[in-house]
Structure 1
Amino acid sequence: MRVISWAAPMVLAALSVSPAMANPQAFEDNKVHLKTCDGNHVTVRWLGDDFKVALFGKATGAAQGSLEFLGWDGNCQKATWNTAEAAFAVGNDDSARPSPFLKYVAEDDAKWIGVRNGDGFFVTRVAKAGENISNARLAEVADWLKRTSPEFTPGAALAKQLSIAGGD
């Protein structure tokens, strides 16, 4: 018992800094929580190929063909869903480019990435509030998703896309 009493805190400390514990959260959901360009915290769901936005649990109106949100760089981004390409079109007007994912800031200022998954999203946290994102960090998240996501799942698809993005 004496060994356990002094070893337990050391084991817990080691686990808290291990890569397994440092990995991001990742999950599937029918909605995504993010910050809008004006700093509001909203919930976004799919309604067909449009977005249904709710502020404080109340829908903000009819479904929208586009969504404005705060991107990783702190700038306002606009996204639409391009059905023909099965991808988001992210950017402002003429600068919109196809993207398999949204890179957004959540309510807690953490940086998340999300892909469409049918009528929902698969999302994973890439960095906590105030942390920088590097290609090495994207590769770390991709490796973690590869290890924890079965083949042909949204997590595996996101891992593949992150591996490509991390190589840029």
Structure 2
Amino acid sequence: MLSSGPSITEAFTEKFEKLFPSWPMFVATLVSLVLVLIILWYFLYKPVKKAIKQRQDYIQSNIDQAEQANVSSQELLAKANMKLLNAHDEARNVVKDAKHEGEKVLVTYLEKAKRESKRIINEAKADVKLQKQELLEENQKHIAAAAAMLSRKILKEEVNSDIENKIIDEFLKGE
């Protein structure tokens, strides 16, 4: 089977030569590619890498600040809770002290009221005793006067006031 056309190796060589038309063109393209890659590296990769690094540093800085703020807020919260507990304890102590003080004041006022009531009762008893004594003396004088009048009427004689006073005094002393 011989064909009049080119052989396989020749066809392959021809296609390969079409892919790479010439070595100088290939080298020039390769050099251009390397130059473009270097330029892209210098103008694109480094600034992008630098911007990404700055962004990472910024984000890390924010994370660190947030963690620090969280730690400080936890400390402040713990301090606030301690102050709150201390305030509750202090309030309980104040209420307890006020209750004890109130009880002392109550006892003091009760004792004062008892003393005052005893004093008033004693004064009232003394006043009643004095009024009773005065009433008895007044009644005795009335009785003596009534007795003298009655005796005058009975005797129908006149008794002078000196004798009358003497009789009244003897009567009062006799009782």
Report the TM-score range of the alignment, normalised by the length of the smaller protein: under 0.3
Structure showing greater Rg: 2
**Structure whose residues are more often helix by fraction:** 2
TM-score, L = length of structure 2:
0.21
Of Structure 1 and Structure 2, the greater strand share is in: 1
Structure with the larger RCO, 1 or 2 (CA within 8 Å, 6+ apart):
1
